[in-house]
Amino acid sequence: MAAALTVLLIGCLLQTALCGQFKTIIPKTIEVLSGSCVTIPCSFHVETGFNSNIDETCRALWKSDLQTVVFDSSNSQSNTIQGELKGDLTRKDCSTTLNNMRPEHSKEYFLRVECNNFRHSFVDQKLHIAVTDVPPSPTLTPSTLKVEEGTSVSLKCSAPAPCLSHPPALTWSSSLGHIQESLQENQDRTKVQTSVLTFTASRLHHGKEISCTAVYKKQDGSSQSNSTSLTADISCELICLLLKFIIILHIIFDLLSVFIYLFSLSLNEVIDS
């Protein structure tokens, strides 16, 4: 009897672990600039027996608490937050874009899926959307630059890109070298815009400020920016030191020869007289 119960229990545990359970896969938190949109990467799982109930009749709702629906994919006009379901619910993709986010929308949200033969609120996974007044500063990697002259340098600038239709534009303070831009994905499937600047460090860069600016265009057409910078510390390597040494020697010899010439002139005068 006890053994049968154990088998049953293990069977259940295995079933929930292996065969799926009610769950959404969403980021824990997303920061978005006020007046911008946010695209929530989202997918969901249901217990195995319910898979066939997920069909074309399904709609996605985003709720901030059990009573409050802020977005309903079947009812785009009267939503508190305007937006668009981007994913295909029959493929359990609930990715959603919410537009024109405002500071008062800074809350935790969870997904609800409603179909003819299925209804479920995924309250165990919540997404915190933080709406900020200022754009985040981009990240420079490495954050300091101390290299020898002649070294090939790669600086990476990255900035979160929560609104896929308006990714930030990244610009460098001066066109030092080759620039390669790309949109990359974090582990939680949020996006980040990156720009890699590659150049060969030269004496001319020493003490120069290199900065990366992220310009966020908002949905009303205005834009806001933030930047991060570092000061290049380019040191003289052996060849450069040798060169300096030779130049100094050269100057000393030149001075010496002038002295010798002048000395010989005065010597001649002494002899002549």
Q: Where does this chain bind ligand NAG (CB under 6 A)?
A: 134-137, 226
Q: How far is the CB of 135 from ligand NAG (least distance, A)?
A: 6
100/225 with CB nearer ligand NAG? 225
Which CB atom, from 80 or from 224, has the smaller least distance to ligand NAG? Answer: 224
79 or 137: CB nearest ligand NAG: 137
> What is the closest distance, in whole angstroms, from the C-beta atom of residue 224 to ligand NAG in the complex?
7
Q: By C-beta, is 136 or 150 nearer to ligand NAG?
A: 136
How far from 154 is each of 175, 182, 216, CA to CA, in Å? Answer: 13, 15, 24
Closer residue to ligand NAG (CB): 127 or 214: 214
Q: How far is the CB of 183 from ligand NAG (least distance, A)?
A: 20
Closer to ligand NAG by Cβ: residue 125 or 226: 226
Contact call for residues 27 and 126 (beta carbons, < 8 A)? no
In whole angstroms, how close is the CB of 13 to ligand NAG at the nearest point? 44
In sign, the C-alpha dihedral spanning 98, 104, 108, 112 is negative
What's the min distance (Å) between Cβ of 155 and ligand NAG?
Answer: 18
| Least CB distance to ligand NAG at residue 212 (A) | 12
